[in-house]
Amino acid sequence: MKTTRRQNLFAAALVGALAFTTIARAADPLPSWNDGVAKQSIVDFVAKVTKPGSLEFVPVAERIATFDNDGTLWAEQPLYFQFLFAIDRVKALAPQHPEWKEKEPFKFLLAGDLKGALAGGEHALIEIVAGTHSGLTTEEFEKIVKDWIATAKHPKTGRRYSEMAYQPMLELLAYLRANGFKTFIVSGGGIEFMRAFAEQVYGIPPEQVIGSTGKQKFEMRDGKPVLVKLPAVDFIDDKEGKPMAIQKFIGRRPIAAFGNSDGDLQMLQYTAAGSGPRFCLYVHHTDAERKFAYDRKSSIGRLDKGLDEAAAKGWTVVSMKDDWKTIFPAEKKIKR
Amino acid sequence: MKTTRRQNLFAAALVGALAFTTIARAADPLPSWNDGVAKQSIVDFVAKVTKPGSLEFVPVAERIATFDNDGTLWAEQPLYFQFLFAIDRVKALAPQHPEWKEKEPFKFLLAGDLKGALAGGEHALIEIVAGTHSGLTTEEFEKIVKDWIATAKHPKTGRRYSEMAYQPMLELLAYLRANGFKTFIVSGGGIEFMRAFAEQVYGIPPEQVIGSTGKQKFEMRDGKPVLVKLPAVDFIDDKEGKPMAIQKFIGRRPIAAFGNSDGDLQMLQYTAAGSGPRFCLYVHHTDAERKFAYDRKSSIGRLDKGLDEAAAKGWTVVSMKDDWKTIFPAEKKIKR
């Protein structure tokens, strides 16, 4: 349901009259969000946990908010962006890996057969990521990702990947931080992949980025200690892994959690199960016109059980079509 | 070497006369430190990395400082305090574990034979910690540690363990934070053990405490998700493990690192190997009179290779006897 300008003016007058304004139009912290239930639920939650003396006040140190990344903070179609990065790496590294011509899933990628490469499922994804991310020091890898994020463009939109962060979510991150929240990413994506751009794109420093990890080894090179990435998975930060990673890395239960898929369900359940005020939100990809629409049957970002649980528990479900005025940052706003 | 009051007054006058005072006596941020090379090296480092426009200026986001815990931030004799906690737990839990009467190393502990229990080395320590820390939810465990830290007393000093934090190091933590540093613990101690008191004792929030980890499982109890501690080691945060854990948890190389043993050497080497200004410091346990003196031959907190490397690289070595006016917080200052 869209609100009209007249409705907006009426709502603003009403809020003003009630004298405990939480959203002043002049300084709306979430300008890309349409007024509605989703936006109001966010503003109400922030207002109640930050009001000194209120029963639901939460001290700053406990204002932990965790965000999934793919499909929640930035787009994830036609494939997770880290996978598009890995495909670019397979092509760049192919001359050094003649064996890939005969080896699945690499041979499919080199022949341009994405469907064939993906037929191997999660195992194939892990193979490709491990094959292209390992052998490098953590600092070499960081540089490669930074170069890629600064130059590579999305095959459909032609935008840089950093320009495919969701503008309403960037506003939400900033709004929470302005209210004393510490914002974390808790994503199935590679921890070092995300850290290479999270500070620039989301304002989230590396130590607040949690993701899947690979094994590493400590080594002296030219008398200097380095960490070398190994082709082996250490931990997958998805589903049950998310609360486990939150416990390991943060050690404190979040009071707010944000996701878009069934992979985020356990994180939201874990967040909701704490005592005191809690906020859980799902981003629902309903916008076929401006971007992509998918949910219960998608192989990427499937949102099925999560939609049912959100309805049963009264969690906020954001309809990208109805709740967001815009999806991506305006072209003119993008720093190049 | 002890400095006298007269020497202190002379030093203060000299510093004042030189007109580029970095330590004003009126507002000395490190009052428990004697004036000398060690204290001056800290103050000089902080001054240069925080001076805007200077070549060695470091932006706030990169001011990461990592601290070992046992023997660096608090005492570690006659045994690591977590081990004393575990012994208390063995006694408390013995009625539920009749098999311990026959099982090493538990049977030694129950018979009061600490030496016998320790004969099994690191393996025995891990057995005892795993046997007493597992089966609990993370929240149950946190409560047990909080109760213990609030009530248990050290067998030699009679102080609560939280009162055996080193006063000069508490001042150093506060001083660094006041200058924009983010302070982390990177310790071989159990991550959840330390997190239960680090915020109260050191002002370090759980998400900035890194330690050894045990395996856990995600489980639904009464419809609520909990994390249950399993009797298996996941990761030992010592020696080479420290730079690996820093990379995993922080994702950014520290610019300053503080330790007291060879177990911290790789963390200090890793810190020193970064570009730009770096600061590495060893606390050297030289104070037989006020506390304990040990280094190259100690089984706990051995400092041998580290002393040599510190001398070769010009790292700061703090002599507890000469550089610290006091070791523990004054009794009257302790909050009860």
| Closest B-chain CA to A207 | B250
* The pLDDT of residue A16 is above 50: no
Asked if B90 and B109 count as a contact pair (C-beta separation under 8 A), the reply is: yes
* The pLDDT of residue A179 is above 80: yes
Distance in angstroms (rounded) separating the CA atoms of residues B196 and B206:
8
Nearest CA among A316, A276, A280 for reference residue A59: A276
From the list B205, B208, B250, the residue facing A206 with the nearest CB is: B250
What is the pLDDT at residue A24?
44
Q: Alpha carbon of A4 to those of A8, A9, A10, A15: distances in Å?
A: 6, 9, 10, 16
| Closest A-chain CA to B216 | A244
Q: ipTM value, please give it.
A: 0.87
Encode pLDDT of A305-322 as tens digits.
Answer: 999 999 999 999 999 999
Nearest CA among B208, B212, B278, B321 for reference residue B41: B278
Encode pLDDT of A129-172 as tens digits.
Answer: 888 988 999 999 999 999 999 999 999 999 999 999 999 999 99
Mean pLDDT of A211-239: 93
More confident: A8 or B75:
B75
Encode pLDDT of A31-46 as tens digits.
Answer: 999 999 999 999 999 9
DSSP element (H, E) containing A284: strand A279-286
DSSP secondary structure letter of residue B223 = T
Distance in angstroms (rounded) separating the CA atoms of residues A262 and B216:
21
Mean pLDDT of A236-265: 97
User: β-strands A64-67, A316-319: how paired?
Assistant: unpaired
Q: Which pairs with CB-CB distance under 8 Å and at least 24 residues apart come from B26-32? A: B29/B171, B29/B174, B29/B175, B29/B178, B30/B168, B30/B171, B30/B172, B30/B175, B31/B171, B31/B325, B32/B167, B32/B168, B32/B171, B32/B324, B32/B325, B32/B326
Encode pLDDT of A267-298 as tens digits.
Answer: 999 999 999 999 999 999 998 887 678 899 88
Show residues of chain B in contact with A138, CB under 8 Å. 247
Residue in B207, B209, B213, B268 to test binding to A, most A beta-carbons within 10 Å: B207
| Closest B-chain CA to A61 | B205
What is the pLDDT at residue B114?
87
CB contact under 8 A, B191 and A248: yes
Average pLDDT, consecutive stretches of 10 residues, N- to C-terminus, chain B (336 residues): 47 43 65 98 98 95 98 93 93 94 93 88 83 92 97 94 97 98 97 97 98 94 93 93 98 98 97 96 91 84 95 97 94 51
From the list A205, A216, A252, the residue facing B247 with the nearest CB is: A216
CB contact under 8 A, B225 and A192: no
DSSP element (H, E) containing B168: helix B167-178
- Least reliable range by pLDDT among A63-72, A196-205, B122-131, B306-315: B122-131
Show residues of chain B in contact with A269, CB under 8 Å. 225
